[in-house]
Structure 1
Amino acid sequence: MERRLALHVLASGSRGNAAVVEDTATGAGVLVDCGICKRDFFARSAEAGFDPANLAAIVVTHEHTDHTKGLGVVLRGLAKQGVAPAVYVDDAVRAASSEVVSLEGAHDVRALHAGDALSLAGISVHVFRTSHDAAASCGFRFEAAGGDVAGFMTDTGVVTGEADEALSGVRLLALESNHDVQMLADGPYPYPVKRRVASEVGHLSNVQAAEELERLLCGELEQVVAMHISQNNNTYRLPAETLASVVARAGHPACVQAAFQDLLVSVR
């Protein structure tokens, strides 16, 4: 297998999300979500060594604003550089998102559905459904020429069989590890919000993420990034340690680290 893919997590958390999957052999990339400002997008892309001029497409997981609120400003910034990536979004998300609706006419917005296999930036992008309280939500499996594979899943209350299958055999894994169960229970959120976060259409806990990682351990897996970590109901240390303990118990060589809200994390 040729190691071609890189994952650049520009931001991950409740205040904004964006990540680039890059084919390092060509420099082309796909942006997953855009819930950050133009300044942070360009600054962290530069820090990652990714040229936004090589951005071939944007794929949107769901309509919540922490995943979409930067779409317009970033696309306008890219347009000034002569870059016009297509935006792929589920029809239900398109209808539910004012940010996506505002792109109509000025930008190339295309349909995306669970089960699709798209060819973007020379990467095969497989779309799978996740379980979240959105009009529609999805994750992605990225396959590069030569057999390199990355999996990306955030914003899901449970791991479906479809998701588990899509994430199997990946080398790079971006996996939601949103909250610590006890911190959520003891934390400041109103009870209805706590119930929503912990529900089957909420977010994965550290324990749920660890259980999924244990199922996904394989010879190909090299890098694991804990994603969408709550700043109120978790710490950056807890999910990293919880997932690392799964790897250690199995005697597996994969590296584990946390993604941050305000700092770049890149894995290759």
Structure 2
Amino acid sequence: MHVIASGSKGNASVVADRRTGRCVLIDCGITGKNLMEGCAEAGVDPRLIEAVLVTHEHSDHVKGLGVAVRALRSRGADPQVLASRPAVRASSALADLASQVDVAHFAAGDALSLAGMVIHPFATSHDASASFGFRIECAGDALGFLTDSGMMTPAAHDALSEVRVLGIEANHDLTMLRACDYPAYLKARIASDRGHLSNDQCADELDSLLSTRLQHVVALHVSENANTYRAALSAVERAVSRQGHAARCAVGYQRRVVSVG
């Protein structure tokens, strides 16, 4: 997994089969230029991006999608774009893209065969028309990806179990959220069950996901105003160390590529 950008200013991650180089892109809320630069830094050949998965329609996840698809096509790729029907209906960016290219639809419980991988979408709890995380399986290996969820649902927990690589949201520190200069309504939204996972919620969930298969954990969607990268990383490190687990911990940045796996 290559986290190209993660945070409220834009998100994009690439999951690659390291045997073949074939890839899927999860979200694109950054510019096409930044995506291409991130791919180059990560050693990803953009011509091998075969699909784009959309978690939900919020702008930090889709605002760069149209430009990115055109940029990928100009480099010889022909990625299939997949999003939920509610997300396409709710987003002008997705609707505009759907008028130019074929956008396929998925729902929770589907099994999508893309880039030599099998991808299982699962519903998350967020204030979007519909929002999803993904379990991605390839050659007996599994990766879990969850961002933008105010709580952990049983379906999400099941989907993230027994993975080797886990990307999981650690958006805010609750004390920092209460003290920051966000308006009250935004603080309430973020902390709600349809907002974002806190560092503590991430760590609590991680306690029950530390299987013998798990090797890498990446904290995602870290707030630049109500958290710090160090605090998010420390939260997952503490959860891992409490159980004496050997998983390596990392954090996704807004402006720096992080690759794991």
TM range (shorter): over 0.9
Aligned pairs for 1:1-268 (under 5 A) are 7-145=1-139, 147-268=140-261
SS at match of 1:224: strand
- Residues matched between the structures, number: 261
Which letter does structure 2 place at the counterpart of 1:165?
D
Where 1:102 maps in the other structure, the secondary structure is helix
Alpha-carbon deviation of 1:61?
Answer: 0.2
Question: Following TM superposition, by how much is the alpha carbon of 1:108 offset from its aligned partner in structure 2, in angstroms?
Answer: 2.2
- Tell me the percent identity: 50
Tell me how far apart the structure 1 counterparts of residues 252 and 77 of structure 2 sit (CA, whole Å): 27
TM-score normalised over the length of structure 2: 0.99
For residues 72-120 of structure 1, the C-alpha deviation after alignment (integer angstroms, 9 at most, x for no partner) is 1111111212322111000000000111111123212101111111000
Q: Could you list the runs of 5+ residues in structure 1 that have no partner in the other structure?
A: 1-6
**RMSD after superposition:** 0.7
Query: TM-score scaled to structure 1, two decimals?
Result: 0.96
CA contact (8 A) 2:46 2:75 kept: no
Equivalent pair of 1:156/1:204 in contact (CA under 8 Å):
yes
Contact map agreement 2:56 2:132 (CA 8 A) in 1: yes
Contact 2:229/2:251 (8 A) holds in 1: yes
Contact residue 84 and residue 107 of structure 1 kept, 8 A: no
